[in-house]
A and B are shown apart, each in its own frame.
Chain A
Amino acid sequence: RKEVEQDPGPFNVPEGATVAFNCTYSNSASQSFFWYRQDCRKEPKLLMSVYSSGNEDGRFTAQLNRASQYISLLIRDSKLSDSATYLCVVLGGSNYKLTFGKGTLLTVNP
């Protein structure tokens, strides 16, 4: 099982749609979880951290299920500017390293 696994997509959705991304991780000792956003040929940028209780930031909602080792990101009311690759990132166990998923490509169409 890969350390961090994401559905690669691509996801093509119309403006205003709701889209959900999923991610699983293999190391049960992983400590922290994040979603990063990467625009084409650009550096990744932190979108939001993911907390056990779930957290929301505007149109974005992140959830963590430690028992299932599963993380999700929900985007409501998609905008054209949401088009990007979304990276699931895990801060792992004893090595304190960030491990990146391959990313899920989202294209929001007018």
Chain B
Amino acid sequence: GAVVSQHPSRVICKSGTSVKIECRSLDFQATTMFWYRQFPKQSLMLMATSNEGSKATYEQGVEKDKFLINHASLTLSTLTVTSAHPEDSSFYICSAPGTGVSGELFFGEGSRLTVL
């Protein structure tokens, strides 16, 4: 099946720094990728939809200047958390739609961000 790789899996940073998370589709092209955030014991919340060659679409309440998304190629999308604060600590997961079952998403392994 399709594979999505996400890096880094864990990152610890100081408050005020920026962190970049990469999401790659390894054996297929993804014109669209989704970025989710999941707090402990909470559901996955869609943050934004990343579109290759155009601007990302952000969900209501998600600051686009804080969470910078770049979809530079058909296999790579990046999420940069700028000026991170402790409340940004969370599990960030990217996903890409498969070409088979409608609605099936292939998820990256996730990135656990801890901001000190």
A residues with a Cβ closer than 8 A to B are: 4, 8, 32, 34, 41-46, 49, 87, 89, 91, 97-103
Taking a contact as CB atoms under 8 Å apart, the answer to whether A100 and B103 are in contact is no
Interface on chain A toward B: helix, strand, loop, or mixed SS? strand
Task: Tell me the B residues contacting A by CB distance below 8 Å.
Answer: 34, 36, 41-46, 91, 93, 95, 101-105, 107-110, 112
Contact yes or no, A100 B110, CB < 8 A: no
Complex interface: chain B residues within 8 A of A45 (CB): 107
**Least CB separation from A88: chain B residue:** B43
Partner of B41, one of A46, A101, A102: A102
A32, B107: Cβ atoms closer than 8 Å: no
Task: Return 21 A-B CB contacts under 8 Å, by A number.
Answer: A8-B41, A32-B102, A32-B103, A34-B104, A42-B110, A44-B93, A44-B105, A44-B107, A46-B101, A49-B103, A89-B103, A91-B102, A91-B103, A97-B46, A98-B103, A98-B105, A99-B46, A100-B36, A102-B41, A102-B43, A103-B43
